[in-house]
């Protein structure tokens, strides 16, 4: 057999083998109309129903505002100590929370105006009243934040955008 014919036969065999390997990869020869009807889902578990008792309103006088005692902003103190940690639990095993006091006003409309400006800028702001020496002050707060570093970062944004000197306070439950 001549050398040229031998090379052609080997080339034809290599091309045929490549065709057998590559054609099934390129083309899907499975029947597209065949539907797999075998389920791989496990059988449904048997669950016994339970009776849920509907909550009843407590009898007598109920003190609303129990949440206010949890986060008493009037007892909050400025946070200047860096050793107290940025987040975590305090000595009573309660989570530390931080709030910014953005302003304190005697006129409610000024406090409401600052609060609305802060909200339009994307901050979660609210107003609380505080009585100091028989004078009512309306304080604008932003927060709370669970991480002191985020509160400090927001303080910088608020101070630059609103020309204030916000105070970082720790919630005191």
**What CATH number is given to the structural domain containing 152?**
3.30.70.1070
Residue 137 lies in a domain: yes
Residue 20 lies in a domain: no
Instruction: Please tell me the pTM assigned to this model.
Output: 0.50
Structure tokens at 122: 């994307």
d(CA 109, CA 116): 10
Number of independent structural domains in the chain = 1
Residue 167 lies in a domain: yes
Q: How many residues does the chain have?
A: 173
Residue 117 lies in a domain: yes
Residue 9 lies in a domain: no
* Domain extent at residue 130: 70-172
pLDDT one-digit tens code per residue, 19-60: 888 887 777 767 777 777 787 888 888 999 888 888 887 776
**Cα dist from 141 to 22, 104, 113, 170, whole Å:** 68, 9, 13, 12
pLDDT one-digit tens code per residue, 93-147: 777 788 888 888 888 888 888 888 888 888 888 888 888 888 888 988 887 887 8
Q: Quote the pLDDT of residue 172.
A: 61
Q: Is the peptide bond before 164 cis (omega within 30 degrees of 0)?
A: no
d(CA 105, CA 60): 38
> How would you list the strands of the sheet with 72-78, edge to edge?
72-78, 167-172, 98-105, 135-145, 125-132
């Amino acid at each position: 057999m001549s050398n040229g014919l031998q090379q052609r036969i080997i080339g034809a065999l290599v091309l045929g083998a490549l065709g057998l390997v590559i054609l099934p990869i390129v083309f899907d020869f499975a029947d597209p109309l065949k539907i797999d009807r075998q389920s791989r889902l496990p059988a449904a578990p048997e669950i016994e129903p339970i009776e849920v008792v509907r909550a009843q309103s407590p009898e007598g006088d109920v003190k609303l505002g129990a949440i206010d005692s949890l986060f008493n902003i009037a007892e909050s103190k400025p946070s200047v100590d860096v050793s107290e940690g940025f987040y975590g639990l305090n000595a009573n095993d309660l989570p530390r929370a931080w709030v910014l006091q953005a302003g304190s006003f005697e006129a409610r409309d000024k406090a409401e105006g600052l609060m609305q400006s802060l909200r339009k800028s994307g901050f979660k702001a609210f107003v609380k009243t505080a009585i100091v020496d028989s004078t009512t002050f309306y304080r604008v707060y932003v927060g709370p934040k669970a991480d002191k570093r985020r509160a400090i970062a927001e303080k910088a944004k608020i101070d630059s955008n609103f020309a204030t000197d916000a105070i970082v306070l720790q919630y005191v439950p």
